[in-house]
Each structure stands twice: as C-alpha cells, then as structure tokens.
Structure 1
Amino acid sequence: MAKKIIKRSWAEPFKIKVVEPIKMTTREYREKCAKEAGYNTFLLKSADVYIDLLTDSGTNAMSDYQWAGMMIGDEAYAGSRNFYYLWDNVKKYYGMPYFVPTHQGRAAEHLISKIMIKPGDYIPGNMYFTTTRLHQELAGGTFVDVIIDEAHIPQNKHPFKGNVDLQKLEDLIKKVGAKKIPYVSIAGPVNMAGGQPISMQNLKEVSKLCDKYGIKLWFDATRATENAYFIKVREKGYENKSIALILKEMCSYFDGLWVSAKKDLMVNIGGFLATRNKKVYEEARNMVVVYEGLHTYGGLAGRDMEAMARGIEEMVEFDNIKARVGQVEYCGKQLEKYGIPMVYPFGGHAIFLDAKKFLPHLRQDVFPAQALANEIYVDSGVRGMERGIVSAGRDPKTGQHRYPKLELVRLTFPRRVYTQAHIDVMVESIATVFQNRKQIKGLKMVYEPKYLRFFQARFSKL
C-alpha cells in the first residue's frame, strides 16, 4: 500500500525575542475614533489600532544583529565609520559606486528631481507613485504612465504587470523629443499596481531603448528584493540564481537609484541615493548639505546607518524574503475562500482589495476605497489605507480629481511583525465587511490639503 504524502508546512525563519502588547477595543470605541480622525486611517492614533497594516515603511521588526549594531553607532558629525560601512554595502549589493544618505526615500526623490528635471520636461514611468510624481511635478515636469495595460486590470494574472509598454515609451520619445526626457523612472515592484514586479527581460529591453535615444534610466529600488524574488520564481533562467545576484543585475541597467530604507532594509528610518554618474553624485552631495545634513550622515544618526548596512545583508537572504511574500500569499488565498475581490497576482508587500468590485454601488467620486478602509477598521481595529482617487489627487492643470482605473485598499505587511493568527483575524474581518457591503455608504471630503491629500484629508459620511 502506497504511503500517503504528507504536506509539509513552512514557518517564519525567526523566533520572537521581544513582544509589544496590543489591545482590542470595542466597535463603539472604534466608531468614535474613526469619526474623530475624519474617516482617514492616517489620522488614527496607533494606540487605537489592533493590527496595523497601514504601511511597511519603518514599521518592520529589526533583527538582533541590527539592534546590536545600533550600540556601536559612531555619532561623529563628519566621517562616521557607519557611513563608510553602509557605503561599502551599497557598492557590494547594488553595484553603484557613488552614494548619498538621506533621512528617507522621498528626500532622495527630491534631490534627483531638482537635479535632473527642468520645467517642461516629461518623465515616463511604469505607473506613478504619490511622492515621486509630486517631486517631479514640483520640479516642473510631467509624469507619463507607460506601464502595460494589464497593470490596470485587477483580475489580470500577468506575472509581470510592472512591465513597461515599449511602444508607449517610444511613442512619447518621438512626440516630445529625447531632450525633453531627463530620465525614465522605473519602480520594481510597482506599489500602485498592487505590488507588481517588472521582468528582467523587460528591463533589458527598456535599457536598450533608452540607450538608443540617449536617455537615462533611474530606479526606485525601495522594494527591489521583492522584485528579485519574483524574477527568481517566475522568470526562466533565474531559478538557480541568488536574490543578491538578481538584485545586482537589475541595478546594472540603471544610471542610478533611490531607496527608502524603511522597507527592504527593515529599519525604522533612512534612505539613500546611489548612482554611477559622478556629475549627479557631486550635485547630490552638495545639495544634501542644504536639505538633509552633511554628506556623511544625510539627516541620520550613525546608529541608523549601521542598522541600514546590516539590513542590506539580511534583505537578500532567500528565506527572509520567501517568508515575507509567503505571508501575503497566505492572506490572499484565505480571502479567496470568501470571494473577496482583489488584485492578482498577489503582490510582494501587500494585499490590495478591489474596492470597485467590493462596493459596486458606490461611484468613484464618493471615495469607495476610503470608505472601505474605514469599515474594516471599525469592524476589527485592522488599519489599512486607500490607494485610489484620494491618493491620485488632482490634475495640477485642471484642478479636477484624477480618476485612476484602480480603486484599491492596501493591506501592507510589516516585515517580521505579525503572525499567521493575526492574518486570520484580518481575513475574518474583511469577510464580515464583505457580507455587509451593501450597507456601506460613501464619503464627502471636507478638508483637502494642497499636496498628498491622502495623508491629511478629512471626510464625513454621506
């Protein structure tokens, strides 16, 4: 008689050493909190949140190796040894010879935009990211989306929905001229598309096209190890290569990159700009002194740079990234059992709920994703965030709402923070909200800041 094959489970590649207590509140209390926060999950107090899936930016759990490094921070104003250790690891793992630290990723976006963009320029990219596009616009540029059409269709299962449509890119180059395009902006994976990766083959093709027209290629490498993981498991020829080797090959096609270290590097603060372009490096090193701090600390403490350097070493470990993406996949598969509409394939850092299909009775101009994020919080204390019309903001020329094709709620998993049991609680909450979805009403925006309104806007119920 043949033996029954026993399915073998995997577990997180770490054990818990320190715990932080969290508390469950009542529904009545959360209703009060949501109203006081103007139905904006960004304005909730963290003490009133049970499971916080707002973002993975700076919310990760550092390892004992990183915490040990914090104790040897060299807090010299100039020439900290932690800076040089971090620089060495940037060269080793990203392959970029020049490096400028910043306090977080958007500071690096700011520097690059001011250095490279002139008024009237166009910056094509594989879907926008909120802070990136704003810095490009403030510098006088216009972002142009050249991502493949599949990226705008939540149920499409293309394995690399972060790919650039080469025809769209070349059409733009021919229309405005290569001199009007300071660089092509590539993210991998693409956050706003649902954490979708770009393939190595597509990167090669984009690089070749940019070389043809003499256009630079820059990389938002904030979650690049997740992209490297998807290349390893989905793209032929990379299955036997390490995450570190894939990451370095990806970076080899770029003139430079910026990173929010608060994601892949698993630290609470930090970022950097790295490039192989000495002229850009010299300008950035000069400007960082004006906006951030001396070029050997860039607004960071020495201990933070040490934790970043050690985080780079840990982020390329296959078991770490497999467990990180595995949590997202587990969550998605559990939600499928209840028929929850989501973005496919599941992303590397978050599950994205399709608010248009979840709440088909709500028009997009009554902010369905914003309303859905609030309903989930009120039901269980789980905090997610809107990625739809509120995040898209207004067109700077017309002043009208931008209406993105994707209207999403992002549920983002901090690295090494929550267990499978936390995920089960969240899944059951979303399933409950889905059962009662016809009762959910839209929202009216009652306060709107000038920039990045999703952070501080306030709403009232209709």
Structure 2
Amino acid sequence: MPKGEPFKIKMVEPIRLISREEREAALKAAHYNPFFLRSSDVYIDLLTDSGTGAMSQFQWSAMMLGDEAYAGASSYYKLKETVTDITGYEYVIPTHQGRGAEKSAFSQLITRKGMYVVSNMFFDTTRGHAQLAGARPVDLLMDYPTDEFHPFKGNMDTVKLEQFINEHGAENIACIIMTVTNNSAGGQPVSMANIRETYRIAKKYGLLVLFDVARYAENCHFIRMREEGYADKLPIDIAREMFSYGDGLMMSAKKDALVNIGGLLAFRDEELYNKVGGAVVPFEGFLTYGGLAGRDLEAMAVGLREALDPDYLAYRVGQVQYLGELLRSAGVPIQWPVGGHAVFIDAAKFLPHIPWDQFPGHALTAALYLEGGVRAVEVGSLMMGRDPETGENVRSPFEFTRLAIPRRVYTNQHMEDVAEAVINAYKRREEIRGVRFTKEPKVLRHFTAHFDLV
C-alpha cells in the first residue's frame, strides 16, 4: 500500500506565520475568540473541516455543467440520483448548508414546546436548532474514558435510550438523531450493530430516526476497519446498509461531500418529504436548488462518490491518526483512538488547574494560536451553552480542544508543525490562564462571544 497521498497538488495557496507580537495583537483584537481572527493571520487553520477542503479536478470540471434553472435543473437530478444510489432514499432536497437542513426539519418535526429530541450526542448547530424550535435536546452517549481504547466511542447508549422512552413517553419525543461520526464525542465512529439496535428500538415505539451524516464516509471506513464482518465490504455497500436503518438524513455537505458549500435533506417517505419540504421553500429556496447554484449541486454529486473511495478514506483518516500519534507519543492527553476528521485534545487533563467554567478547551485555543499560529476550536462546556430554564452553564462531559483537519489541504509536514506547537504549549501549560466572558450571546454563544483572560 503506498504511503503517499492519493493525489497530486495542482494549485497552491500561500500561507505565512506572523510574529509572536503580531499574533498577540491579533488575538486581543479578536477578543480571544478564534472565530474573529483573520484567516491571513493564521498559519495552519484547524478551526473546522467544514467547507475548508480542496475540490478535485473532476468537481471543478463538473461545475462548468451547472444548470442554473430556478426549478427542475438537470444538476439537481444528477445530485438526486447520486444520493438515492448511496442511501436508498427517494426524496432528496438540497439546502445551502447543514444548518439549513436542521432548521427546516426541526421546525416541522417539533410540534410543541418541551418535546425531546434524543441523540447519541448533538453538535452545536443541531442542538441550537432543536432548542430554537422549542425542544429539549438529550445526549445518550456511551460513557468511555478518553484515554481508553474502544473502537466505537460514538455509540448511542441503547439501554438508556429505551429507559428514556419508557420514562418520558414516545409521544413526547420528536425524533431520534443518530450522528455519524459523533463530532462532539471526538469525531468517534458509531458501529453498525449500534445503528441497527437504535433503529430497532425506535421502530418498536414508532419513533422517527434521522441521520446527521456530515461525516458518513468516515464512519463507513471505521466500520470496515473495526467491525467484524465488514472488512471485505466496500464503503458504498456499508453506507447502503447503514442508511437502511433510518428514515432520512440531514447533512452538511461541506464535510464528506467534499464541497465548500451545501447541505442535504433526504427521506424514505413521501409524506415526510412533503412536510419538511414545506419549510424549505420559505427558508432555503425551491426544492430543486435549496439555496445553491446549479454548479454547487454538480460538485456535490461528484464529491459524495469521491468521499467513498477506499484509498481516499485511508489517506484521510491516516493523516488524522498521524497527528494524534505525534501528540500521544509526547504525553499530550487526547481522545483515543482518534476520530475521522480531527484530533481532540483533552483540555481538562491538559489544563487541570483551570476550572470547567473558565473553559479550558477555549483557553487552550488561545494558547495554541500564540504558540504557533494554529487556529483550533473548543468543543466542551462553552459550546454546550446555558440551560434555557435555569440560566446556568451546562457542564459538558468533555472539555475538548478540537484540531479539525481540512480535507486534501495540508501535508504531514504541516501536521508536524501543529504537533510542535501543541507540545510546546504542553510544556508551559501551567502558564495558560482560563477565560471569562466580556460579551455573551444567548444562542450559539461560542461563535460570537468576547472573552478576556482570567
């Protein structure tokens, strides 16, 4: 098996590392929030893997075929054919990105205030849209220590799921969201057995199961590598089985469709399609374009298939693992094994002197930028927000700093530069200080909050 990337580089974009003094000034001007940093002031940008990847020559050439008709564009039907072939779902709606899919779906599925939406673990916008629609999101993740190996740390706790249904009543649960891979748990995969059992329980109680599949191809790769009986199956065949255990999907196509913008809704049932589609038209656009240009639909159709290529997946997951092994060998505490799209540093263990409500994961993002111009993001109690009833900070089971690696963008030499910055910060970890709010938005606060050092 070749060790190099399964592609050649055809175009490059200059990057630079500004001085320490310039980084200090930039971080202060950004109110210690990495979202406010200018990308030109960032050396290696690991804020997110969403829409930050590089498209292939096949995607760029497909964009020239974009049909920009408002309704019934041929580009839509190419996308629909691809989605149906991979998922088995006949009813497909594009959206401008994943949060457009979430807003449209939850606005129709959550029919009264106080309903529950249950997941193996929500990510930020999914949780936010459930709350904005009046629901109470509930995480039922299996509990595994970050430093212990388990092949599928993203699994739903199906025992707790059935207990929750019996305790609160199926009529009070809008739907079950199966997130694959499980981003908030550290990009961790979900096993086919767990997906199958979750679907069985849902059908027993007449509940709807929707996949959140931003990173569906990476999850299929982990099933192939780690779950008995799947080693000889192709990723596309694993995907087809996985989607058979659900009623539909929401997707940010900016991850495993390898595009810079776009999202998807897809359903097995026409009634559900009509119900959610009624919200797409006012929120996103007509059902066959959903806020996207025809050229974006063309690129998405190509990218959905490229992401299932076994050689690409081995490279993709392998690069993330390479960074994880560099950090782990230096003693840096991380979620182990690493997930498919990012290395998640256990900031609570990295910075044990910083209390959880001073957000150690966010404090570490500031330190990494100062150390090496690396932009990361917190995934922990800051992202969880406040309880809408009590107003108290919700404590996350994890205090992570996420290093999300864009697809087909950086080399392993860049990963070594990232590792050097993290390791240097770890050597001086006692000097890192917590953060406090100077401005706190009510919803999805981590995107636009202002901070100062404690």
What is the TM-score normalised by the length of structure 1? Answer: 0.97
- How far apart are residue 9 of structure 1 and its match? 5.8
Whether the aligned pair in 1 keeps the contact of 2:107 and 2:279 (CA below 8 Å) is: no
Q: What is residue 458 of structure 1 aligned with on the other side?
A: 450
The alpha-carbon deviation at position 72 of structure 1 amounts to 1.4
C-alpha displacement of 1:120: 2.5
Matched, 1:59 2:52: yes
Pair 62,116 (structure 1): closer, same or farther in 2 beyond 3 Å: same
For 1:85-124, list aligned pairs within 5 A: 85-118=78-111, 119-124=113-118
2:198 aligned residue (202, 206, 226): 206
Q: Name 1:148's counterpart in structure 2.
A: 142
**Structure 1 match to 2:67:** 74
Indicate the residue corresponding to 1:329 in structure 2.
321
For 1:297-376, list aligned pairs within 5 A.
297-376=289-368
Residue by residue over 1:146-174, the C-alpha shift from the partner in whole angstroms, topping out at 9 and shown as x without a partner, is 11122xx2112111111111211111111
Aligned match of 2:160 in 160, 168, 172? 168
Cα distance in 2 for residues equivalent to 1:47 and 1:265: 26
Q: Which residue of 1 aligns with 2:38?
A: 45
What amino acid maps onto 2:437 in structure 1? M
Would you say 1:388 and 2:409 are equivalent positions? Answer: no
Q: How far does the alpha carbon of each residue in 1:302-332 deviate from its partner, in whole angstroms, 9 at most, with x for none?
A: 0000000010121110111110000011011
Q: Distance in 2 between matches of 1:386 and 1:278?
A: 39
TM-score (norm 2): 0.98
1:191 aligns with 2:187: no
* Structure 1 segments unaligned to the other structure (5+ residues): 1-7
Separation (CA, whole Å) in 2 of partners of 1:9 and 1:427: 24
Give me the whole-angstrom Cα distance separating, in 2, the residues matched to 1:282 and 1:363. Answer: 48
CA distance in 1, matches of 2:306, 2:280: 27
Q: How many residues align?
A: 453
Kindly indicate whether residue 141 of structure 2 is the aligned counterpart of residue 177 of structure 1: no
Indicate yes or no: 2:15 matched with 1:22: yes
Q: Post-superposition shift, 1:294?
A: 1.1
Answer yes or no: is 1:228 the counterpart of 2:220. Answer: yes
Structure 1 CA distance for aligned equivalents of residues 2 and 230 of structure 2:
25
In 2, Cα distance between the equivalents of 1:458 and 1:292? 30
SS at match of 1:106: helix
| 1:232-311 to 2 correspondences below 5 Å | 232-311=224-303
- Secondary structure of the structure 2 residue equivalent to 1:156: coil
Is 1:127 aligned to residue 121 of structure 2?
A: yes
Contact 1:130 1:392 in 2 (8 A): yes
* Distance (whole Å) between structure 1 residues aligned to residue 173 and residue 436 of structure 2: 38
Unaligned runs of at least 5 residues, structure 2: none
Shift of 1:285: 2.2
CA distance in 2, matches of 1:139, 1:439: 42
- The answer for the alignment partner of 1:34 in structure 2 is 27
Greater alpha carbon shift after TM alignment, 161-170 vs 249-258:
161-170
Corresponding residue SS for 1:371: helix
| 1:183 match: secondary structure | strand
Q: Which residue among 102, 114, 139 is the counterpart of 2:133?
A: 139
Match of 1:4?
none
1:216–1:255 CA contact under 8 A, matched in 2: yes
Q: Is the 8 A contact 1:115 1:280 kept in 2?
A: no
Amino acid at match of 1:18: M
Indicate the RMSD between aligned Cα atoms, in angstroms. Answer: 1.0
The 2-side partners of 1:170 and 1:285 are apart by 30
Once the two structures are overlaid, the 10-residue window that deviates more, 280-289 or 334-343, is: 280-289
Letter in 1 for 2:383: S
Q: CA–CA distance in 2 between the matches of 1:46 and 1:369?
A: 21
Q: Retained in 1: the 8 A contact 2:117–2:135?
A: yes
One-letter code aligned to 2:51: G
Q: Which residue among 421, 437, 449 is the counterpart of 2:413?
A: 421
Deviation for aligned residue 1:218:
0.9
Give the partner amino acid of 1:46: S
After superposing the two structures, state which structure 1 stretch, 72-81 or 301-310, moved more.
Answer: 72-81
Distance 2:133 2:316 in 1: 36
Q: Identity rate of aligned residues, in percent?
A: 48
Aligned-residue offset at 1:284: 2.3
Aligned to 2:3: 10
Letter in 1 for 2:282: V
